A and B are shown apart, each in its own frame.
Chain A
Amino acid sequence: MNTGYNFAYLDEQTKRMVRRAILKAVAIPGHQVPFGSREMPLPYGWGTGGIQLTASIIGPDDVLKVIDQGADDTTNAVSIRRFFARTAGVAPTTRTGDASIIQTRHRIPEKPLREDQIIVYQVPQPEPLSRLEPSRAETRRMHALSEYGLMHVKLYEDITRFGHVAISYDYPVMVNHRYLMAPSPIPAFDNPKLHMMPALQLFGAGREKRIYAVPPWTDVRSLDFDDHPFRAARAPHSCGLCGATDGYLDEVVVDDRGGRLFVCSDTDHCETRRAAGHTGADALAAE
């Protein structure tokens, strides 16, 4: 553990500022709380919001899992895990069930989370209305008035044009019947996991300087219409390695003749299943 910096890198005054913002975020589920985001030693866009959240909550007894795209071994996940190993000396894990804090980019683990866990999302764009209204002064006003007609119109236009909503990730949700919220760029497949999750969910956007939260057991609904209910899509295949049919799949190009291998995006889910003896159709070929 490197002692040149404070525990978990951030100075104590910064942690207090972030902690105060987190508490207000928990008290107002789905509301984006502005915070004095600091420059981190990783670039904006690499998870500086999530890193500041994790640095402000983590303690020496925590067990940390970091995933990017569902995988523990993607380079950015490795880099962030190393950052906390170096600055906080915490125990890392790749096992979802063993982690007390899970920092994630773009996925929610397949294994249901528990009440004693916290999931920290890295958020590139916290404003769910940003593609419809670029001015933040204007979108703040819309949130104040709970005026989300713009988003409903967008979804309705999708339906009239394509027959269904054409948003496949970062699919907007209503939190606690009050705030429209960007769930971060998780696939819409993961959206149902946000609803009534036993774990506390924290969202950090470093560059945009916003923190928001969903407390445990909170109502989180993906926007839809009665006659066009929300549908969570996944590739219609089973995992080539473990045979799972319930998880989100990555599509791996294996040759230049159209060959494809579908494998679990959640590497811990896949490894746990394989360790338990499950095999997929391509398991031998992939070894």
Chain B
Amino acid sequence: MSIDLPGFADPVLGSQACFRAVLDAMARPGTFRAAGAGLSPPAPLVPAAAAVLLTLVDAETPFYLAPGFAPAQDWIGFHCGALPVEFPGVAAFVLADTLPDLAALAAGSDESPDASATVILQVAALGSGRRLRLSGPGLRVPVSVDVTGLPDNFPVLWAANHALYPRGIDILLCSGTTLAALPRSVRVEG
């Protein structure tokens, strides 16, 4: 049933545009970019997260989805060719709507810190809510970003992830048709 819902109208150009949004977001942590406008993915998937999946996930990427996303699993399988893995610890991409235990995800090794998970995290709102202060590569000066839907102790949890650098987890925050990125290189203060 959910597989009846379409993916990108033009898969080649749709994923190219979404990738540039993700790339730009990753290069400038905390800035908002539009993605997924025009997509109507099955609930509870939001358009931005759906666009990211269509752009980056396929049969070559171990992929974990949090239990709440079961209704979207067929759609993801059909459009991305991706089959979910049972354990988040072996996943390259993790789709979630609450922050997973970052310490339980693949953070890469000292030699291959790139062999690490990217979390596609759906949050209630971007642009309102708890204020986070970001600094690091990609940012000329520290910036503030407001997010609703992250745990209260997020700065502490993130500090533990950032301390693993260059190992670590990268997060793509998605809400509606907006996304923002938190690469492991960024420092977050509450």
Contact = CB atoms under 8 A, between A and B. Distances in A.
A178 B116 contact: no
A41 interface: no
B118 interface: yes
A26 interface: yes
B26 interface: yes
Interface residues of B, number: 39
Contacts, number: 110
B15 interface: yes
Contacts of B55: 16, 19
A214 to B, nearest CB: 8
Interface stretch (A102-110, A140-148, A254-262): A140-148
Given A21-B114, A59-B20, A12 B138 contact: no
A17 B16 CA distance: 13
Interface string A8-49: 000011011101111111111101011000000000000000
Given A17-B60, A19-B55, A12 B15 contact: yes
Given A13-B58, A16-B55, A218-B137, A23 B12 contact: no
B12 to A, nearest CB: 5
A178 B19 contact: no
B61 interface: yes
B17 A59 contact: yes
Given A12-B11, A31-B114, A144-B110, A23 B60 contact: no
B78 interface: no
17 contacts: A7-B16, A12-B15, A13-B58, A16-B55, A16-B57, A20-B56, A24-B116, A56-B19, A59-B16, A144-B110, A176-B185, A200-B27, A214-B137, A215-B27, A216-B138, A217-B137, A218-B138
